[in-house]
Chain A
Amino acid sequence: MKKISNLYVIDDDKIYHFLLKNLFKQNGIDVASTFFVNGSDAIEHIKSNNNEETLPDLILLDVNMPIMNGWQFLEEFGKISSELIKKPTIYMISSSNNEVDINKSKEFDGAVKGYFLKPICKEDLDLIFV
């Protein structure tokens, strides 16, 4: 199994950032996490840090965000992914239980490995960080 050392969290909810950090800590998950409040910031960061050390192994992506939402991020990411030296695993984590959103994640076949509904619990983390 691929070792996960770098993690990007893309979500506009700052409280969620805090909660996720604590959840990792309580479950002994030791990863270098970088937090972004929208897709646009994350894309910019990825573009300017195309190296083994900074690129993420795993991305936890929200759906509804201002400026660039999760779907727009996936589109932009698809355009640049072939130039990246690392191919991260992407999970979508959202509070939207809308069928449309859940089905749409399946359209990004291959790029999105799974869709989790908030709140995230220990069992979800076990599945993501196997």
Chain B
Amino acid sequence: MKIFDNPDLYDGESPNVFYKKLLDQVPDLIFKIRWDVETGKFGIIFLSESIKDLYEIPQDVFLTDPHHFFYDRMFPEDAAAFIASLKESREKLAKWDHIYRLQLPEKGLRWMRVTANPELTAKGSVVFYGRATDITDHKEKEARLHISEERFNYALRAASEGIWDWDMKTNVVYFSAQLMKILGKKEVEAYFPNTFWLSRIHPDDAYTYDKSKTDYFKKRNASYESIYRILTDQGKYRWVLSRGRVVSYDENGKPERSIGTLKDINQLKEKEVELGNTINIIVSQNNRLNNFAHIVSHNLRSHASNLKMLLDLFKTADEAEREEMLQHLEAISDGLSITISHLKELVEIQTEIKTVREKLNLRHYLKNILNILHNEIKKHNVDIEINIPLDVTVDYNPAYLESILLNFTTNAIKYSSPERKPMLSYDFEIIEGQKVLSISDNGLGIDLKKHKNSLFGMYKTFHKNQNARGIGLFITKNQVEAMGGKIEVSSELNKGTTFKVYFDEEN
């Protein structure tokens, strides 16, 4: 079906009317100006009526006095450049393209852009056909964008955050300049394959990193957020907080682009770790205090109450009974003395934290202890193995080191299994920079499930052994901790026990 036919071009109108009506549809100012080669001056030949809207000058006023435009409408600062650009275009016969500002009585500040093509006439004059467009809206948008971009950049910089933009189709990631700075690189934005980032994540954090990613992709979390350590160019790890989300999905619902931020939270995290350490110290001190309160509460009280009961009974007892009671009185007195000496030992450990440390040869000290225990070792026919290099030294209090070695050794002999030949081995190793001595036996073992919490408590014994007093491990633990170290234990019933003594070297 035919919608259009082909009528005469002007459709019966005069060409003037026809073109005027067409031009009225154009919001831009359309003009023709001429530069006369003889006078060396410009003259306006044609101006469309839109001059009234755009410049707020009636067409006829402008045509009679074009200078009005310069004095009354144009920004004075812009006039010189305007004229210069027009001249240049005329001389070079290059396209005139210039942006300038107007100050209008009603609309106020407007941005304008003029473009025109110069044509050289046969006589040497130049004619411009062109238009001027109001570009204020465009300019304002540009300015707003510029401001918001600036605001964004400053905010990110102040928050020490970088930006990443991950193209998941190509697996290439954009890293902002700030992010590169966090990595210790030059502060210039860059593109890297995704593997570049993955290879820098601390191995211990790889799991949590992967998990937070999958949790987000599987929609278990509304947004992606992960805290982990990243390797910097200086070879050190820094804690960072990464946040982001998928911004576009392909037609199959597969994510294809993710954007997010990366924040350096190293200082915060280090403070957190420091705080955690402080809390640990407080907790262990509190435990020691509790134990101390316990010994006072339980042990002194038990002697005191026995004494009280004994004296009450003594009053009404007959001669024979009194004789027996006196013997018990002696036992109470002995018990009290022992408890008080334990108490004294403990108080000394707590208060002598700054006691002298000396460089002590570990192997040498152990040999001394084994000499002291020579008779016991021979009696029980204990096999002893020592794997300590000759030159190993520890910075320790000599009395504590003796006491610790003595305690673990006597314990191992005391709780050896009657079913097999006792074996005792001392092994030295370095674990994460800390000197560690392991003391292993093949004795009775301890049921750690049952006794783990009370193992190092005061007056805890786990074996039916007459000599068990339950004070040794408690004192030993206090001494090791007072020196800044720790004790670890592993044990299996009827197989043996290993105690690991960590010597603190940092203080």
Query: Cα distance A26–B311 when bound, in Å?
Result: 13
For B297, the chain A residues whose CB sits under 8 A away are: 95-98
Residues of A within 8 A of B310 (CB): 15, 19
CB-CB < 8 A to B304: which residues of A? 119
Task: Determine if A67 is an interface residue (Cβ-Cβ < 8 Å).
Answer: yes
Q: Which of B17-25, B222-230, B275-283, B458-466 contacts the other chain? A: B458-466
Residue of A nearest to B293 (CB): A98
Interface residue? A47 (CB, 8 A): no
- Is A84's beta carbon under 8 Å from chain B? no
A94→B324 CA distance, assembly (Å): 24
Q: Choose, from B55-63, B100-108, B312-320, the stretch at the interface.
A: B312-320
Enumerate chain B residues within 8 angstroms of A121, measured Cβ to Cβ: 309, 312
Residue pair B464, A118 in contact (C-beta under 8 Å): no
Q: Which residue of B lies closest to A122 (CB)?
A: B312
Q: Report if B380 contacts A (CB, 8 A).
A: no
B505 CB to closest chain A CB, in angstroms?
36
Return the contact of A95 from the options B298, B313, B463 (Cβ within 8 A): B298
| Residue contact A19 to B302, C-beta cutoff 8 Å | no
For residue A120, CB closer than 8 A to chain B, the reply is: yes
Contacts A26-B316, A96-B297, A97-B297 given; indicate if A66 touches B468 (C-beta within 8 A). yes
| Interface flag for A128 (CB, 8 Å) | no
Q: Which residues of B contact A64 (CB under 8 A)?
A: 298, 459
Which residues of A lie under 8 Å from residue B470 when comparing CB positions?
66
A interface footprint on B212-230 (CB within 8 Å = 1, 0 otherwise) = 0000000000000000000
Q: Assess whether B306 is interfacial by the CB under 8 Å rule.
A: yes
Main SS of the interface on chain A?
A: loop
Most chain A CB within 10 A, of B294, B313, B316, B335, is at: B313
User: Which residue among B309, B328, B470 has the maximum number of chain A CB atoms within 10 Å of its CB?
Assistant: B309
Contact B313 A67 (CB under 8 A): no
For the complex, give the distance between the alpha carbons of A64 and B335 in Å: 16
A18 to B317, CA, bound (A): 13
Q: How far is the CB of A115 from chain B (nearest CB, A)?
A: 14
A52 contacts the other chain (Cβ, under 8 Å)?
no
Cβ distance A37 to chain B, nearest Cβ, rounded Å: 9
Q: Is B313 a contact of A23 with CB atoms below 8 Å? A: yes
Question: In the complex, which residues of chain B have a beta carbon less than 8 angstroms from the beta carbon of A66?
Answer: 459-462, 468, 470
Nearest Cβ on chain B to A7's Cβ, whole angstroms: 17
B331 CB-CB contact with A under 8 Å? yes
B321 touches A16 (CB 8 A): no
Mask for A105-130, Cβ within 8 A of B = 1, else 0?
00000000000011111000000000
Give Cα A64 to B298, complex, Å.
8
B305 within 8 A of A: yes
Residues of A within 8 Å of B321, CB to CB, are: 22
Cα(A17)–Cα(B302), bound, Å: 13
Cα distance A25–B469 in the bound complex, in angstroms: 31
Q: Give the Cβ gap from B337 to chain A, nearest Cβ, in Å.
A: 14
B301 within 8 A of A: yes
Q: Give the complex CA separation of A19 and B314 in angstroms.
A: 10
Q: Is the CB of B331 within 8 A of A15?
A: yes
Tell me the chain B residues, 462-494 only, with Cβ under 8 Å from chain A.
462-464, 468, 470
Residues of B contacting A118 with CB < 8 Å?
301-302, 305-306, 309
Interface residues of A in 27-83 (CB under 8 A from B): 64, 66-67, 72
The answer to whether A119 and B313 touch across the interface, beta carbons within 8 angstroms, is: no
Cβ–Cβ contact B312 & A18, under 8 A: no
Say how far B135's CB is from chain A's closest CB, in angstroms.
81
Contact A97 B306 (CB under 8 A): no
B462 with A67: CB separation less than 8 A:
yes
Known A-B contacts A66-B460, A66-B461; A97 and B313 likewise in contact (beta carbons under 8 Å): no
**Residue B308 at the A interface, CB < 8 A?**
yes
Evaluate contact between B459 and A19: CB separation under 8 angstroms: no
User: Bound complex: CA of A66 vs CA of B458, how far in Å?
Assistant: 11
Chain A residues near B340: list those with CB within 8 A.
none
CB of A49 to closest CB in B, whole Å: 20
* CB proximity of B87 to chain A, nearest CB, Å: 98
Interchain CB contact under 8 A, B328 and A97 = no
Q: How far is the CA of A34 from the CA of B238 in the complex (A)?
A: 67
Q: Contacts of A16 on B, CB cut-off 8 Å?
A: 302, 306, 309
- A23–B306 touching, CB < 8 Å: no
Which 5 interchain pairs have the tightest Cβ spacing?
A119-B305, A66-B461, A118-B305, A95-B302, A95-B301
Residues in B lying within 8 Å of A, measured CB to CB: 293-294, 297-298, 301-302, 304-306, 308-310, 312-313, 316-317, 321, 324-325, 328, 331-332, 335, 450, 459-464, 468, 470
Q: A118-B301, A118-B306, A119-B305 are in contact. List 11 more A-B contacts (CB 8 A).
A: A15-B335, A19-B306, A19-B310, A22-B317, A23-B309, A67-B462, A94-B298, A95-B305, A118-B309, A119-B308, A121-B309
19 contacts across the A-B interface (CB closer than 8 A)? A13-B302, A15-B310, A16-B306, A18-B328, A19-B306, A19-B309, A22-B321, A26-B313, A26-B317, A64-B459, A66-B460, A66-B461, A95-B297, A95-B305, A96-B298, A98-B293, A119-B304, A119-B305, A120-B305
